Each structure stands twice: as C-alpha cells, then as structure tokens.
C-alpha cells in the first residue's frame, strides 16, 4: 500500500518510506567509489591521486543541487501540507529551471578555470594534466548531476521514492558497466573513468526530468512557472546547510590532502582517497535517511501535527543511534578487506590506509546524529540553525582540529581529526535540540 506524507509513521513504516532514499544515496556514492577502484587497479597511483585531488572541487559545484533539493523540498512539502498543490508545483518547477540555468553557467566557468584550480590544489607535472583531463570531461555532465541531486529530494516529496531509487540504481549500474568497459576492457585510462561518470550522471539527471515533464500520478509535475524571488531566497537560505556541508567537506578534503602530502606524500593522498570512498558509502546511509524523512517532517510541521512531530523526532534519534553503533562495528571488521580491494597491490600503502580507516571510522558512532540534526532543522524551515550546525561540523571544527592534532600525533592526528570534530559538533546539535524543542513542540 502506498505510504503518504500525511500518514502516522511507526518504526516499520518510517523505515519502509526512507529506505529508497538511503539506497539512492548509496548508489550516488558509487560514482566516485567505482571510478577510484578501476583507476587505482588499472591505471595507476598517480592518476588515482589526481582524481582524489580534483574530485572535491567537482562535488563543490554539484552541491548547489543539494541546496536546491533539500531547501526547496521542505518548502514544497510545507505548501502541500497547507493544501495548495498548484502553488507547490509552481515552486517545484521554478527551482528545477533555475538549477538548469545555474548548471550551464557553472559548467562554462569551470571549463575555463579548471587548469588554474588544479594548480591551486598543488597539482604538478603528470598529476596536473590528469586533474585537468578528469575535470573537463566530468564538467560536461555537471548540469545533469545538479538535477540528479535536486530530484533525489523531490522524488520523496512527490511520494515516489521508489522511482527515485530505480533511477539511481540505473545510473549506478551504468557507471559500473561503463567503467569496466572503458577502463578495464578498452584501456581508455582516466578519461574512460571520467566518461563513465559523466554518462551515468546524465542518466541520473535527465530521466527524472523527463518523468516530471510528462503527466504522472505523483504529487509533483513540471509546469509553467514564473520566478518567485522570495521562495528562491528561502530555498537558498533553508538549503544553505546542505550547501555548506558539501562545500565545507570539499574544502576540508583539500586541506586533508595538503597535510597528507606534507606528512606522507602521494601515498597519503591515495590513502585518504580510499578512506573517503568507503566513508561515502557509510555516510550515504545517514544522508539518505535525512533526505527521506525531511518531507515527512516538513509536511506535518506545515499541517500542525505536533504529536506526529514528537514521534518522528524520538524514533529518528533511536534509528540513527543504533545505526551508528552497527556502522562502527562493520567498519572496524571490514577495514582490511575493503582496503585490499583498492590498494592491495602495494603493501606499504595498504598498511597506511587500513590503519587510517580504523581511526577515521570512530566518527561513525556520532556523525549520524549531527547529520540528522542539520536536516531536521532544514525541514522545519530553520535554515539558520541547520546551517550553523553544518558550518561548525564540516568546516570550523574540522579545519581547527586537522591543523592542530597532527602537530602532536603526526599522521594519526589527521585520521582522528574527524572524530574530535564530530564530538564537538554533537555538543552543538544536542544544545539546539534542547533549546528549540519548546518552540517547535517536538519534545
């Protein structure tokens, strides 16, 4: 039976509803994971390090799609909760069209500046050329990638998470198959990995656009729409936390790479790349849950269902808490085999990566609460609190810690920086949960 946003959500129904979003995010994370896997094993360590160096910048560009998707879906869900479906569709359409225009402009600017960006990241010689090659090819699909990130949130708001899941599975499988064909079979090297990613992102962005552009039985459809400046501004403000999370993560990744290049050279950058690939998959589960539950929270907030809000808040804390423990156990147990898949061909690099991942994985225990906390306040249209949690968690705390800890712990300080940053962010998140509970009546 179809689950609706207006339903009462038990643990079982809640998990059923958010599961497609979780799987969607896992398949989204597969893009970089598969590229890294094939490049590391079939192309070489230098192209692998180059991919890891430039990829955070490309993710920073695509983060604008997450901002529009998460910030806009909260507004559209709230409008649906108020019973105005026509206005909700106009807001939805305007945000999609704005994403397309923004994506085209950023693509042009990125193509012109990718060499300067790569040099600023510290790339030289062969690594510089590899960075430019990968960046220019993947930038061709940036608009589609941004749309993919937008539609991930809106499929849930449209009460069609299963279709969103199907699209992301199709995109993920496309990436895997083409990586194998282009890199392993045809030996196109790093260019083949970039082409595979570009095509798969096109699938993830264009197919949903075609679905919403035609008549469908979901709550949303693309229609003619004017520009609603107040809605666009609220979307950007409300989704700024997700934008900040992605931009901050990219900046922090760049800083980590600088520190690791100083402490361990090219091997350090490669090791961090492997840890990030595995981290993407684990963190994607928390992000997917937050994307899946946000429209439910937004709907019931707009409808004034305070009892349901209390239940959603309580159940979510239990779910992300238990998931954190499970992920930590899995990460510690699978550290060696997962690392071997990527860099088993180099004993020294394998040992460095495996130890780093075991330390880094300690952050899984608490990061889910922080990710949910930011998304929770976004769904309540409190973009300021959401952005502050994300800003402190993903930028301020991590930058401070990754600069200080290595002074005392050397390379282990780099791996443990995320753990300390997440613990500091947890204090902030809990403080906001307590102080805002009375205002939104979820405690």
Question: In sequence order, which residues have a C-beta less than 8 Å from that of residue 408 and are 6 or more positions away?
Answer: none
Q: Which of 384, 44, 59 is nearest to 250 (CA)?
A: 59
Tell me what pLDDT residue 242 has.
65
pLDDT tens digits for range 56-105? 788 888 888 888 988 888 889 889 888 889 999 999 999 999 999 999 99
Tell me what pLDDT residue 187 has.
93
pLDDT tens digits for range 230-279? 889 888 887 776 676 677 777 787 788 878 878 887 788 788 888 888 88
Establish if 188 belongs to a structural domain: yes
DSSP 392: I
Per the CB < 8 A criterion, the answer to whether 114 and 61 are in contact is no
DSSP 363: G
Tell me what pLDDT residue 45 has.
79
Q: How far apart are CA 124 and CA 110, in angstroms?
A: 19
Indicate the range of 197-206, 294-303, 312-321 predicted with least confidence. Answer: 294-303
| Structure tokens that stand for 346 in this block | 């180099």
Tell me what pLDDT residue 206 has.
96
If one counts every other C-beta atom within 10 angstroms of the C-beta of residue 10, the result is: 11
Q: How far apart are CA 148 and CA 206, in angstroms?
A: 8
DSSP 218: S
Question: In sequence order, which residues have a C-beta less than 8 Å from that of residue 206 and are 6 or more positions away?
Answer: 144, 147
Residue 41, CA distances (Å) to 28, 47, 341 in order? 21, 11, 9
**Which band of pLDDT confidence, cut at 50, 70 and 90, is reported for residue 343?**
confident
DSSP 158: T
Please give the mean pLDDT across all residues of the chain. Answer: 87
Residue found under tokens 């199709």: 170
Establish if 413 belongs to a structural domain: yes
pLDDT tens digits for range 110-119? 999 999 999 9
Establish if 1 belongs to a structural domain: no
Structural domain including 70 reads 11-440
Q: How far apart are CA 393 and CA 280, in angstroms?
A: 17
Most confident of 46-50, 114-118, 284-288, 384-388: 114-118
Q: How far apart are CA 356 and CA 182, in angstroms?
A: 31
Q: How far apart are CA 353 and CA 361, in angstroms?
A: 12
Question: Is residue 229 classed exposed, middle or buried when 0-12, 13-18 and 19+ CB atoms within 10 A define those classes?
Answer: exposed
**Which band of pLDDT confidence, cut at 50, 70 and 90, is reported for residue 283?**
confident
**Greater confidence, 374 or 161?**
374
pLDDT for residue 32 is more than 70: no
If one counts every other C-beta atom within 10 angstroms of the C-beta of residue 191, the result is: 17
Instruction: Supply the angle between the helices 229-238 and 85-120 in degrees, to the nearest 10.
Output: 60
Q: Is the dihedral of CA 17, 20, 25, 26 positive or negative?
A: positive
Establish if 290 belongs to a structural domain: yes
Establish if 4 belongs to a structural domain: no
pLDDT over 70 percentage in the chain:
97
pLDDT tens digits for range 353-372? 999 999 999 999 999 999 99
Count how many domains the chain has. Answer: 1
DSSP 396: I
- pTM tops 0.75: no
CA atoms within 13 A on the CB side of 413: 16
**Which band of pLDDT confidence, cut at 50, 70 and 90, is reported for residue 44?**
confident
Indicate the range of 139-153, 218-232, 337-351, 427-441 predicted with least confidence. Answer: 337-351
Q: Which of 225, 162, 160, 173 is nearest to 199 (CA)?
A: 173
Q: How far apart are CA 13 and CA 9, in angstroms?
A: 5
pLDDT for residue 393 is more than 90: no
Per the CB < 8 A criterion, the answer to whether 354 and 335 are in contact is yes
| Structure tokens that stand for 57 in this block | 């910048």
Establish if 431 belongs to a structural domain: yes
**Greater confidence, 36 or 130?**
130
Q: How far apart are CA 323 and CA 419, in angstroms?
A: 17
Residue 234, CA distances (Å) to 117, 287, 317, 319 in order? 31, 21, 27, 29
**Greater confidence, 399 or 264?**
399
Q: How far apart are CA 391 and CA 62, in angstroms?
A: 18
Question: Is residue 182 classed exposed, middle or buried when 0-12, 13-18 and 19+ CB atoms within 10 A define those classes?
Answer: buried
Tell me what pLDDT residue 241 has.
65
Kindly state the average pLDDT of the residues 331-345: 87
**Greater confidence, 360 or 17?**
360
Tell me what pLDDT residue 372 has.
93
Gyration radius of the chain's alpha carbons = 21
Residue found under tokens 């929770």: 376
Tell me what pLDDT residue 2 has.
66
Question: In sequence order, which residues have a C-beta less than 8 Å from that of residue 3 and are 6 or more positions away?
Answer: 13, 16, 17, 159
Tell me what pLDDT residue 390 has.
82
Q: Which of 160, 46, 170, 149 is nearest to 106 (CA)?
A: 149
Q: Which of 306, 285, 294 is nearest to 379 (CA)?
A: 294
Tell me what pLDDT residue 1 has.
55
Establish if 3 belongs to a structural domain: no
């Amino acid at each position: 039976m179809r689950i609706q946003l207006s339903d009462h959500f038990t643990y079982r129904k809640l998990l059923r509803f958010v599961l497609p979003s979780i799987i969607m995010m896992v398949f989204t994370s597969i893009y970089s994971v598969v590229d890294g896997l094939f490049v590391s094993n079939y192309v070489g360590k230098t192209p692998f390090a180059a991919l890891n160096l430039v990829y955070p910048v490309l993710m920073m560009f695509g983060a604008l799609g997450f901002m529009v998707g998460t910030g806009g879906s909260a507004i559209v869900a709230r409008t649906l909760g108020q019973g105005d479906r026509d206005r909700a569709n106009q807001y939805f359409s305007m945000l999609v069209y704005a994403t397309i225009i923004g994506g085209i402009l950023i693509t042009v600017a990125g193509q012109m500046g990718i060499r300067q960006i790569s040099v600023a990241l510290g790339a030289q010689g062969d690594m510089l050329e590899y960075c430019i090659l990968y960046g220019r090819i993947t930038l061709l699909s940036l608009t589609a990638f941004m749309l993919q990130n937008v539609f991930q949130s809106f499929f849930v708001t449209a009460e069609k998470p299963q279709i969103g899941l199907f699209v992301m599975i199709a995109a993920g499988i496309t990436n895997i198959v083409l990586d194998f064909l282009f890199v392993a079979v045809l030996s196109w090297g790093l260019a083949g990995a970039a082409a595979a990613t570009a095509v798969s992102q096109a699938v993830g962005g264009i197919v949903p656009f075609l679905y919403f552009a035609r008549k469908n039985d979901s709550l949303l459809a693309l229609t003619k729409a004017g520009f609603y400046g107040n809605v666009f501004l609220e979307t950007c403000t409300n989704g700024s936390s997700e934008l900040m999370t992605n931009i901050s993560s990219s900046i922090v990744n760049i800083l980590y790479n600088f520190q690791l290049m100083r402490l361990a050279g090219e091997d350090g950058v490669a090791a961090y790349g492997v840890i990030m690939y595995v981290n993407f998959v684990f963190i994607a589960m928390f992000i997917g849950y937050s994307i899946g539950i946000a429209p439910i929270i937004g709907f019931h907030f707009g409808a004034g269902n305070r009892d349901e809000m209390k239940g959603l808040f309580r159940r979510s804390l239990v779910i992300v808490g238990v998931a954190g423990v499970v992920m930590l156990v899995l990460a510690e147990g699978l550290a060696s085999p997962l690392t071997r898949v990527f860099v088993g061909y180099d004993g020294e690099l394998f040992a460095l990566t495996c130890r780093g991942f075991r330390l880094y994985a300690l952050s899984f225990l608490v990061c889910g609460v922080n990710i949910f906390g930011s998304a929770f306040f976004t769904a309540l249209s409190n973009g300021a609190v959401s952005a502050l949690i994300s800003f402190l968690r993903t930028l301020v705390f991590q930058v401070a810690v990754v600069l200080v800890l290595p002074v005392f712990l050397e390379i282990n300080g780099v791996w443990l920086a995320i753990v300390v940053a997440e613990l500091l962010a947890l204090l902030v998140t809990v403080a906001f949960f307590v102080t805002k509970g009375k205002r939104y009546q979820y405690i």
